[in-house]
Structure 1
Amino acid sequence: MINFYFNHDPALLPEYSDACHPVQLFNTHPHNKEKHSRASGTLLKRVRDLGVEIDANAIDLITIASAVTAAETFERRSVAADAWSRVMHLHIPVSDHYLWNKLSNRLSSILNFLTGDQWQFTFTKTTFQMPAPIISKKSKARLDSLKGLNSVCLFSGGLDSAVGAIDILNSPSDYKPLLLSHAYRGDGVKQKSIKKLLKSHYGELSYSISPSLMSKLKGKTDVTMRGRSFNFLAMAVLGISALRNANKDSSISTIIVPENGYISINPPLTRRRIGSHSTRTTHPYFLNRLEELLKDAGLNIQFINPYQFKTKGEMLAECLDQDAIAKAVPLSVSCSHWHRKHMQCGHCVPCLIRRASVHHAGFIADAPYVSQNLKLIHKEKDIRDDLHAVQTAIIRLDKSKDYKGWVRQSGSLPDDQVTRNKLESTIQRGLKEVETFLKANNV
């Protein structure tokens, strides 16, 4: 087990050892990269730039999420006993340590499901005092931009989030969203390009909390990022706090999570992919349990995925502004390997589903791919695994028709049978889209 100790004040951090990793939070003090790693270096300024007070429990949540992101980045899966499931104990200072220690076992269980790791938490009373909002012309303009908004919508620069933003801003619904973006290196350009296609008023909040290792450990990081959606959702909760205070309306609570139903459930394509290859970033079990925990933490929010029962192809085909989404397709990113080469690979599972959805919707223009011709992938040992796994699942399910059993392998589902039937049908249609695409390309 590795113990991670977090604090905004580096003087309160222990020395580094094989079992103890000190991490400085925020940028309230100078950072000594020789002695400590760091998380959330610029996040605090982004929050202060909003020009509005943020509730302490929302700051506690993003502090916890920042710590989780740092820990899962710094501790490589390759060092785990099974080369996958890490055991990590996080010591985190928060405003209400009594509350979070009471919730710690539930938080651990939720993150265990999300990341496949084993999490432990100890919360202590923080000495950190949240600095007041920055008062300037720029922050006043930012505060004014929050007024009249009543929801937060995740906006990643991916195809699903593009559909979500376009639909919300073109529908007669009452949602007036703050588009929340987490920009890894290179993502910001994609997000800005897609936002130029949006025609109605919306708010914006983009942040980055990319953690950095101390000098002696440079380069030894993990890239699986299974907990990234916890981070994203925690920042969305902070956005809700900002909207409530800016609008003096405590009823604001909706966080929209636009994700196609197939990827949301993401059933494992083969037996050996259970856990390791099947991400659960927006699985309904994860979202429901997190929503319940946040309610008990006094945060009272509601996660909504309008596309839980739609495939990615159906999302594209039914988007309310077909001209805008057609232009967004080549600008968006879906690839799980995007950050390695800044070009979508074309052969990972998200790329295959993306390409099948574009084919289903009948769009001609798509983004360029490293592996454009899928027929050549079969000969490439290092990159053919996902394609083979998809084809194996198609063949197996064509024979067994056991979609119900397959869907359950990704995690617990809602008790309501009607909902379960809808999820099963969505998964079946989603895999059929991929099968149709592969057949059309003689793969």
Structure 2
Amino acid sequence: MTNFYFNNNPTQLPNYSPKCHPVQIYNTHPHDNNKCSLASRALLEKVRDLGVYIDENSIDLITIATAVTAADSFEQRKTAADAWSRAMHLHIPVTDECIWNLLSGRLSSILNFLTGDQWQFTFYKTSMTMPKPKTSNKAKAKLETLKGLNSICLFSGGLDSAVGAIDILNTASDYKPLLISHSYRGDGVKQKNIKALLKSNFGEISYSISPSLIKKLKGKNDISMRGRSFNFLAMAVLGISALRNANDDPNISTIIVPENGYISINPPLTRRRIGSHSTRTTHPYFLNEFERFLTDAGFHVKFVNPYQFKTKGEMLVECEDPSAIAKAVPLSVSCSHWHRRNIQCGHCVPCIIRRASIHHAKLTEDAPYGSQNLNFVFKDREQKDDLQALQTAIIRLKQSNDYLFWMRQSGSLPSDINTRKKLELTIKRGLAEVESFLKSEIV
């Protein structure tokens, strides 16, 4: 097990060893990359730039999210006993260590489900001064953009989040959202271009945790990023705090999580893919458990996925502004390998689901792919794994027709029978979109 120690002051961190990894968080003190790793260097400044007071418990949550994202990035899965499931103990400074230690077991359970790892937490009293809002003209102007807003909408630059933002902001919606974006390398431009298609006013926070390894390791971060939705949602909760204080309205609580129902459930295509290939970033079990956890921690927020019972293709077809979504498609990113080459591969599961949805919606413009022709992919031993897994799942499900059993392999389903049936039908339609697309592409 690796112990990760976090503090804003590097002098309060232990020395590095193979089982002890010190990480400085925030930029309150100079950083020495010979002593410790670093995460969220500029995040507190981003918070102060909002020009509004942020509740201490929201700062605690984003500190926890920073720690989780850093450990998730720094600990290589290949070093685990099974080359996948890691064991990590995080020691994190917070303002209210009592409540967080009381809830630490539940947090571990939620993250174990989300990432497939073994998490442990110990919380201790922070010595950091909480960030105060800036009073500059720029901060005052930023504060004005928060006034009148009543919700948060996650905005990743992906195709689903583009539909979500367009549906809200290009129609007469009751939601007036603050868009929350996480800026990875290369994402910012695409997010900016999609935002240009939005017709109504909105607020926005684009942030980055940017984990940076200690110099002596000279290695790359782990790229599986199974915990990414945890930090995304934590930042959304911080956004709720900003909106409540900017508008003097404690009832603001809605966080919109736009994700098609198929990928939300994301059943494992084969037995060996359970856990390792099947992400759970917006699985209803994770969202429900995290919402309950936040309630018990003193937060009162509500996660809403308006597309839980829609396929990706249906999201495109039923988008409220067809012209805008047609323009957004080539600007968006869906690929799980995007950050390796800054081009969508065209043959991973998210790419195939994306391409199937565009085929279903009969849209003609799409982004370029590294592998456009699936006939070539099918003949390539190193690239055909996801494609073959999808074909195998389609054949197996036609024979067994046991979609509920398949869906349960990715996590517990809601107990309500009608909800489970709607999810089952969504999964069926999503797989049918893929089958139709593959028949049109593979000769």
How far apart, in 2, do the equivalents of 1:46 and 1:429 lie? 42
How far apart, in 2, do the equivalents of 1:132 and 1:289 lie? 31
| Aligned twin of 2:412 | 412
Does residue 258 (structure 1) correspond to residue 241 (structure 2)? The answer is: no
Q: Which amino acid aligns with 1:364?
A: T
How far apart, in 2, do the equivalents of 1:353 and 1:439 lie? 14
Q: Report sequence identity in percent.
A: 74
Q: Which amino acid aligns with 1:400?
A: S
User: What are the residue-to-residue correspondences of 1:99-118 with 2, within 5 Å?
Assistant: 99-118=99-118
1:322-346 CA distances to partner (integer Å, 9 max, x unpaired)?
0000000000000000001100000
How far apart, in 1, do the equivalents of 2:131 and 2:380 lie? 54
1:218 Cα offset (Å): 2.2
How far apart, in 1, do the equivalents of 2:400 and 2:416 lie? 24
Does residue 10 (structure 1) correspond to residue 26 (structure 2)? The answer is: no
1:398 Cα offset (Å): 1.0
Secondary structure in 2 aligned to 1:88? strand
How far apart, in 1, do the equivalents of 2:135 and 2:185 lie? 29
1:359 Cα offset (Å): 0.4
| Aligned twin of 2:361 | 361
| Aligned twin of 2:384 | 384
How far apart, in 1, do the equivalents of 2:99 and 2:190 lie? 39
1:307-332 CA distances to partner (integer Å, 9 max, x unpaired)?
00000000000000000000000000
1:43-73 CA distances to partner (integer Å, 9 max, x unpaired)?
1110000000000000000000000000010
Secondary structure in 1 aligned to 2:3? strand
1:262-288 CA distances to partner (integer Å, 9 max, x unpaired)?
000000000100111000000000000
| Aligned twin of 2:293 | 293
How far apart, in 2, do the equivalents of 1:347 and 1:220 lie? 24
| Aligned twin of 1:339 | 339
1:172 Cα offset (Å): 3.0
- Structure 1 pair 263/155, CA: closer, same or farther in 2 (3 Å)? same
| Aligned twin of 1:202 | 202
| Aligned twin of 2:233 | 233
1:210 Cα offset (Å): 1.0
Q: Which amino acid aligns with 1:70?
A: A
Does residue 374 (structure 1) correspond to residue 374 (structure 2)? The answer is: yes
| Aligned twin of 1:219 | 219
1:404 Cα offset (Å): 1.1
Q: Which amino acid aligns with 1:37?
A: S
Instruction: Name the stretch that deviates more: 377-386 or 307-316.
Output: 377-386
Secondary structure in 2 aligned to 1:89? strand
How far apart, in 1, do the equivalents of 2:131 and 2:323 lie? 44
1:147-179 CA distances to partner (integer Å, 9 max, x unpaired)?
000000000000000000000113333110001
Q: Which amino acid aligns with 2:6?
A: F
Secondary structure in 2 aligned to 1:123? strand
1:407-431 CA distances to partner (integer Å, 9 max, x unpaired)?
1111001100000000000000000
| Aligned twin of 1:314 | 314
How far apart, in 2, do the equivalents of 1:306 and 1:115 lie? 24
1:131 Cα offset (Å): 2.5
How far apart, in 1, do the equivalents of 2:96 and 2:83 lie? 35
Does residue 430 (structure 1) correspond to residue 430 (structure 2)? The answer is: yes
How far apart, in 1, do the equivalents of 2:383 and 2:208 lie? 30
| Aligned twin of 1:39 | 39
Secondary structure in 2 aligned to 1:45? helix
Q: Which amino acid aligns with 2:211?
A: P
| Aligned twin of 2:276 | 276
| Aligned twin of 2:180 | 180
1:221 Cα offset (Å): 2.1
How far apart, in 1, do the equivalents of 2:348 and 2:220 lie? 24
Secondary structure in 2 aligned to 1:330? helix
How far apart, in 1, do the equivalents of 2:425 and 2:38 lie? 45
Q: Which amino acid aligns with 1:275?
A: G
User: What are the residue-to-residue correspondences of 1:55-74 with 2, within 5 Å?
Assistant: 55-74=55-74
Q: Which amino acid aligns with 1:343?
A: I
1:219 Cα offset (Å): 2.0
Secondary structure in 2 aligned to 1:171? coil
How far apart, in 2, do the equivalents of 1:276 and 1:336 lie? 13
Moved segments of 4+, more than 6 Å = none
Q: Which amino acid aligns with 2:382?
A: D
How far apart, in 2, do the equivalents of 1:104 and 1:171 lie? 42
Q: Which amino acid aligns with 2:241?
A: S
Q: Which amino acid aligns with 1:43?
A: L
Q: Which amino acid aligns with 1:16?
A: Y
1:253 Cα offset (Å): 0.3
How far apart, in 1, do the equivalents of 2:108 and 2:238 lie? 21
1:258 Cα offset (Å): 0.1
Q: Which amino acid aligns with 1:354?
A: R
Secondary structure in 1 aligned to 2:103? helix
Q: Which amino acid aligns with 1:346?
A: G
Unpaired runs of at least 5, structure 1 = none
How far apart, in 1, do the equivalents of 2:182 and 2:220 lie? 23
| Aligned twin of 1:133 | 133
Q: Which amino acid aligns with 1:397?
A: L
How far apart, in 1, do the equivalents of 2:248 and 2:5 lie? 36
Secondary structure in 2 aligned to 1:324? helix
Aligned length in residues: 443
Q: Which amino acid aligns with 1:102?
A: L
1:379 Cα offset (Å): 1.5
How far apart, in 2, do the equivalents of 1:353 and 1:276 lie? 18
Normalising by structure 2, report the TM-score. Answer: 0.99
